[in-house]
Amino acid sequence: MTEPTPQMTTRERFLAAIAGADVDHPPISLWRQFPNLDQTSANLAHATLLWQEAFAFDFVKYMPSAEYPIIDWGGKSRYDDAPNGTRTITHAPIAVSDDWATIKPLFVQRGFNGVVLGGMRQVRADLGPVIPLLHTIHSPLTVAMKLSDNRVIEHLRDHPDAVHSALEVITAVTRDMVDAAFAGGADGIFFATRAADFDILDETEAREFVLRYDREILEPVAGRGPVLLHVHGNAPMFDLAVHYPAQIINWHDRRAAPHLADGKRLAARCVSGGIDETTIESTTPEAVAAQVRDAIAQTGGRHHIVSAGCIIPPTTPPENTQAAIDAVRHG
């Protein structure tokens, strides 16, 4: 008879899952936006720590507002009560292709980037050393989409040189942000890309404007900490995602192909998912628990981090979140 795996710390469990080793149970984490609280370091840090204190997740995904990378380049946003907690971009500074020349280098310890980093350092200090902390980084083309209200997709086809020049600057600033995150105590990176999606680009375009720059950011991370790659969208380029230097892949597995088990087989690495972020708010605790048990059955509980496919709504009932945790830890 196989001996049960001894109880692990959150860090041991997280690292074992990434390695595909035995775990006492799969690690679990859920993440959400913190509307309006995400505009200052102190408020975002406090909200993050309260979220972790309430549910004792196996790692913390630090959640600045999704628009944070564009603010220091002139972007503006406000919260309009979106159900998922995201902010509305009210000013995208890139209107025409010539505007890409205005994207200049930034010093990430200043401005709104500095606010975000300040909050992350506070979280690290108060979280303690045992719980892993991942800092959220957006891919360069994702940032360009936010800067231009998605006009960059047209621009990269009609004026590729202008877009490439801007992406080189965005990439350099993003690499600085990654360096600052590790210096501030992050254990790893949650790297989100919106553009590796067949609804937005074809694969040739994605290789030129997405994968190329994403790899420039992620390859230097090797050996510094794990990368959790989030491939956002309804038609993710999963065959492209497996070429990323990332130890974990997360996608909308309950809404977009492949299924979790197929994704794990294709990726040949740790996968993160199993919970439908679009229904966790409105369904029952029993249904959430059933999704978790099904996800663990798909993966055998190895090389698997239980999570949602994306952010969960801020109004998700606590009992639904707790049901997911209990299903992982108690079956």
Domain harbouring 82, CATH code:
3.20.20.210
Which residue, among 172, 80, 70, has the nearest Cα to 112 in the 3D structure? 70
- Asked whether residue 1 is domain-assigned, the answer is no
45 within a domain of the structure (yes/no) = yes
Nearest to 321 by CA among 261, 277, 256, 255: 277
DSSP H or E segment with residue 246: none
Q: Which of 156, 63, 165 is nearest to 105 (CA)?
A: 165
CA dist 191 and 233 (Å) reads 14
What is the residue-averaged pLDDT of the chain?
97
Q: Is residue 189 in a domain?
A: yes
Residue 2 lies in a domain: no
Residues 278 and 35: their CA atoms lie apart, in Å, by 18
| Cα three-residue angle 262-18-271, rounded to 5 degrees | 25
Q: Which residue carries 């775990």 as its tokens? A: 23
For residue 3, being part of any structural domain is answered with: no
What pLDDT, on the 0 to 100 scale, is given for residue 6? 85
* Domain extent for 125: 10-330
For 276-293, the pLDDT digits (tens) are 999 999 999 999 999 999
Q: Find the angle CA(238)-CA(241)-CA(242) to the nearest 5 degrees.
A: 95
pLDDT of 4: 63
Taking the model in full, what pTM does it have? 0.97
- Look at residue 127 in the predicted model and tell me its pLDDT: 97
What gap in Å lies between CA 137 and CA 15, rounded to an integer? 20
Please report the pLDDT score of residue 1 as a whole number: 38
Query: Cβ(17)–Cβ(304) under 8 Å?
Result: yes
Mean pLDDT on 143-150: 98
Pairing of the two strands 270-275 and 248-251:
parallel
Beta strands 76-78 and 88-91 are antiparallel
**For 96-114, what is each residue's pLDDT tens digit?**
999 999 999 999 999 999 9
Is 4 inside any structural domain? no
Q: Residue 150 pLDDT > 80, yes or no?
A: yes
Give the tens place of pLDDT for each residue, 156-183: 999 999 999 999 999 999 999 999 999 9
Could you give the number of structural domains in the chain?
1
132 inside domain: yes
- Residue 51: predicted pLDDT: 98
For the residues 13-26, what does the mean pLDDT come to? 98
Residue 4 burial by Cβ neighbours in a 10 Å radius (0-12, 13-18, 19+):
exposed
pLDDT surpasses 70 at 2: no
Q: Does residue 185 belong to any structural domain of this protein?
A: yes
- The residue whose two tokens read 């087989």 is 265
